[in-house]
Amino acid sequence: MLGSISTESSQHKKDWKQRFSLREKRKEPEPVQSFRPVGIVRRWTSLKLNPRPVTESLTLTEPIRYMSSPSSTANLSSGHPSSASGDRETSKKSNWQVIEHFGSKEKGSLSSSLIAVGSVQKTKYENDSLSNSSPDVEAREVETEELIISPIPKKSTGILLKISILLQKICSTHQFKNEQVEMLYQRYFLKMNQSSMTNLITLLLLLCIGFLFSSSTDFIIIKHSDLFRSSTNRLDKLLVLMSTSGCCIAIYGVLLAVVSKPAMNEVYLIIISYFILLTFLTLEICISFFSEHERPLVGMIFSLASTYLTYALMPIRLKDALLAGIIMATTQIILLLNVGKVTNFIEVGSCFIILLSVNIAGVCTHYPREVAQRKAFLETRQCIEARLKIQRENQQQERLLLSVLPRHVAMEMKADIAGQPKEEQFHKIYIQRHENVSILFADICGFTTLSDQCTAEELVRILNELYARFDRLAAEHHCLRIKLLGDCYYCVSGLPEARPDHAHCAVEMGLDMIDAIALVREVMNVNVNMRVGIHTGRVHCGVLGLRKWQFDVWSNDVTLANCMESGGLPGRVHITQETLKCLGTDYVVEAGNGGERNSYLKDHNIETYLIVAPSYRGGCIPYQIQSTNGNISKEMRIMGHEQGKHSSKLGFNESSPREKNPEDEVNEYLMKAIDARSIDRLRTEHCRVLLLNFRDPIKESKFVLERDRMLSLYFSCSTVCFLTILLVQLGIFNRNDTAILCSIPIISFLTFIPLLVYVKSIKMKYNLKILIFSKYIHRNRNVAQVFSFTMAVCIYILVMLPMTSLPKEIQCINTKVSQENCTYHTYVINNNMENCKQYFLVDFLLLLVMVSMIACAVYQILISLFKTIILLGGMAGFLAVYITYTNQINLYKLCFHNTRESAITLQYINVIILVGFVIALILHGQQTEATYRLDFVWKLQATEEKEDMEHLEAYNRKLLANILPIHVAEHFLNSENNDELYHKQCDCVCIMFASIPNFSEFYVELEGNNEGVECLRLLNEIIADFDELLSEDRFKFIEKIKSTGATYMAASGLTQNTCDMKNFKHVTAMADYALQLRDQLDIVNEHSFNHFRIRIGINVGPVVAGVIGARKPQYDIWGNAVNVASRMDSTGLCDKIQVTQEVYQILYSKGYPLTCRGTIEVKGKGSMETYFLEGYPKMKREPNVIVNPLAQQYIECKSQFDKITLGTISEKV
């Protein structure tokens, strides 16, 4: 809205500067915002914010160290976003390409509830490389320690302070600074989080059903059986457990119904997560009170499982998960001391260590998941950005190409460029024949006076505005502009589609051009006018040569139309008899007498006519008697202001739709893609059902080489779990000699493997082979998986080793206690309690088994199949031990407590928890691997899009270089200059015109040569040979300007790098090129059995270079030096290279042989002394050669050339 309030005058003032913009205006960088932690209030406030347009960069606040790839940065600007050419025969379709599906839909609105939650932390995910699967990127990667550790201020001293800073960095949620991007991220992973929550709630529901069933069964057994010594306390505990389980079942049922709804959003998932955390705490307390001192570790088992599942499966912030884990751990320790009556320091300390390690493992699970998900989101967004950028560049490229070439020619050339080159005898010619067309030539009379009153910038601007008006008129009158030749404009009506009223269109076009120049004459107060000539016939249209493509037409009728313009009168439309026949009686004409003003018309007895001005617009209101409003409307239309439209892009016409903000376009596309995508469909499409490996072996082989940046973190976490298990075993279990001997190699192995992985990360000198092997582990996913699997298996074996001594400890009961008379031996049990720790052994064993399972689950690099094998094997091993010794443990309880515990609840509640925990870890492993693999697919696709973008960029530059000079194309591609017209004052430019004057004799239109097409084919070969010479390094100073008919125009010294004011290399290069053209034409004559003769003219001097024609850009040069060079060609001799005296002075000093022709008369210049260049230099002249004063000015003070008045642009051919 604000943009529309700007004044009209300011808009018109800037419009002309924006015509040649190839890209959007560079946005101002945003000020860096200081980091401030966001609290809970801010968090919930942010959920109510309305989405705003994306104007901020995709950054997060407060940096963590994360190595980025330089190639990625170029992709996202650059995106990239991406490049293989975008015009391949078989284009790649993105998984996210849903524009066609949503093309007719309105832009969706973003729910404010999708804004991310939590505190803010900045990272550099945006700069991550999209193609880091190659080993070559190893030097650009960093380890996990570098990822999670930020630079510590110099004032920070002490290990505790450093640890606190580290924890603060890790626990802060990584939230995008931009709210809309954060909302898209939450929406991106909403379905995945919803699926994870659905699995978790379903599992908890089944778990509570198991608790309810077992407790109900025990309640019935205790109440009706005499075998058990029931008590009111036990029944009350069962009732509490049953009630709690029933309430949780109801809650989980409601939550499951809510989370299964398709209209779920992120806020609901967060609220549901908090409800689940409350049920965790409730169940933990309930189970602890139920087991009390009899089985105090049962509550500990549930606390361990619920704590880790909070980190692994709940879509909440790491800070929230850590807080919940601390609360549950603290609650459990309190329950152990007060309810479980556990007073042994070793046992309490072991429980504390286990809970601490579980929380650390949870952090090491949640943190990599958060990093991986945000990284995957940004890579997916980069993929979409690259695709949209390719689309924009493709559209831009096509608009630019179509602005120079008609569609039917451009599409054919585009397909040939994008395809594979074919070996052919001749270069392909892009020429078509069209009958019944009208050709219009128009020349600006008095342009010399106009150019004398303008600066270089004003001249280019006036020409650009004037030709833009002519282009609009041409489009209105169904005429196709062909080319601009200085101040000459010519177009054709009836191309590319035939029209029965082509003659009327051409005449109306000519009349409107005269009216348009009349308005310029009145505004500028300069005597300028238009001379228009029209002829009707047939033409051959197309493109010749290999460089600087310009659409052109050839035929005898084109030559006649050109002569009709030369023989016309200013302010009048000059037509031939053929055109008049097509007009019928719609216009009043008078005799033109063109033969009196043009020798060609006279020699060919061409009868010409002039349109009488008051009679045109047959059937319409005469011009003089139109209303005032009609006149104003017509004038505004002619001047190009009829709809208030202005060109703002090079090659972009006025009808082009206004481009969207790239950020908004990417976000809109991503939002639609997120709504349309299906994770299950992508998983089915790319991965196998059970193994989850890719169906495409090529993708699988690439995935194997994909490096997991968090590998060191996984091994660090497993090391923590290993040390936890080792400490608990030393404090709780008794080891026999066999267990100790088996533990030594396992412990050594578990110590060595992490160190081997850390070698690459630690900045120390190691053996080269060890360092290479460490890098190999990081690079190869299969090798890393083998080591991860080995670590997990070894940790589990270490857990089970103390069980070898368990039979001896329990044997003390079997040998001294008799089931028939256990009361007699009660004192034996009391005396052996300190030696027989079977009360805690199995429960502690289960805790350690679960810790080993967590150590396995932490390895997100490990495939789910291996995880499933380890988890099921660990559960089976424990159940075997547990079932084997259940009777002995029950016997111990019968003798010690003179009772038997219920056979289901207290004995098998830990089994129920274990089974649920294993299922949850298996589901987590499946989801983790599927996510990683789909992330890799997106990443691989992003890489391909980036490569496509790069190839397309190179292709676009190649295409652009065939239309504009490279330095001009760079000017428009430079974001700093994209809103400016290109114009430049060049002080010392060497201009060459080379023509084949006898080609017109060779060109005949006969049925045998396809009406002249074969003649043009030979001309195409000649021009192509001339173009190929420019690819040689010695001619790098030379730029082809254009080729018109059989005339070839080139210039050197147009840029600062190619203008050598000291040694004049650009002038000598042009001389060598002219000599080479003459030799090349001799070769063509030898092979084609023709006798073509070349005539070349060269001059040096100041020129104005610029691009004119916003809708159809064309690079050209103007100035007196250009006119003189053209005269050197037109007044020269065949097989001769005629140069001016200024060129002579430069070439003579370089040893070139030149002969003086003498003084000749040059139209518009009077008498001039010229020279002929005879050949290549034989020897360099002495530097004391007499130099012409003008040439001396070039050397001593090139700034003086700015004062040279530009001459008129005369006829160049």
The answer to whether 668 and 107 are in contact (CB under 8 A) is: yes
CA distance 441 to 454: 25
Distances (CA, A) of 1030 to 533, 1033, 1050, 1077, 1136: 36, 8, 10, 11, 21
Q: Scanning the structure block, which residue is given the tokens 């995935």?
A: 703
User: Torsion angle, CA of 817/819/821/825, rounded to 10 degrees?
Assistant: 20
The answer to whether 477 and 465 are in contact (CB under 8 A) is: no
Instruction: Tell me the CA end-to-end span of the chain in Å, nearest whole number.
Output: 52
Q: Provide the angle, in degrees to the nearest 10, between the axes of the packed helices 781-800 and 768-779.
A: 100
The answer to whether 515 and 496 are in contact (CB under 8 A) is: no
Pairing of strands 573-576, 529-543: parallel
CA distance 481 to 475: 9
The answer to whether 1067 and 1053 are in contact (CB under 8 A) is: yes
Binding residues: 443-448, 485-487, 531, 1042, 1116-1118, 1123-1127, 1163
Helix (H) or strand (E) holding 484: strand 479-485
Which residue of the set 384, 444, 1022, 1023 is catalytic?
444
The answer to whether 542 and 465 are in contact (CB under 8 A) is: no
Distances (CA, A) of 908 to 211, 291, 873: 10, 12, 19
Which residue of the set 128, 218, 320, 443 is catalytic?
443
CA distance 650 to 1113: 7
The encoded tokens of residue 995 equal: 């023509």
Of 1090, 1101, 1091, 1092, the residue nearest 1128 (C-alpha): 1101
1027 labelled catalytic: no
Preceding amide of 496 cis, omega within 30: yes
3-state secondary structure of 1167: strand
Which residue of the set 128, 471, 487, 843 is catalytic?
487
Give the DSSP letter string of 988-1041: EEEEEEEE-TTHHHH----GGGTTTHHHHHHHHHHHHHHHHHTTSGGGTTEEEE
Where b means 16+ CB within 10 Å and e means fewer, 755-773 reads ebbbbbbeeeeeeeeeeee
The answer to whether 3 and 14 are in contact (CB under 8 A) is: no
Distances (CA, A) of 1182 to 199, 629, 716, 1072, 1186: 92, 73, 78, 20, 10
Where b means 16+ CB within 10 Å and e means fewer, 514-524 reads bbbbbebbeee
CA distance 527 to 453: 12
Binding residues for Mg(2+): 443-444, 487
CA distance 336 to 293: 8
Helix (H) or strand (E) holding 589: strand 589-591
3-state secondary structure of 923: helix
Q: Scanning the structure block, which residue is given the tokens 């094998």?
A: 869
User: Torsion angle, CA of 954/959/961/962, rounded to 10 degrees?
Assistant: 150
Give the DSSP letter string of 1026-1083: HHHHTTSGGGTTEEEEEEETTEEEEEE--STTT--TTT-HHHHHHHHHHHHHHHHHHH
Binding residues for ATP: 443-448, 485-487, 531, 1042, 1116-1118, 1123-1127, 1163
487 labelled catalytic: yes
The answer to whether 460 and 1106 are in contact (CB under 8 A) is: yes
What contacts 734, CB < 8 A, 6 or more positions away? 802, 805, 809, 837
Which residues participate in catalysis according to the annotation? 443-444, 487
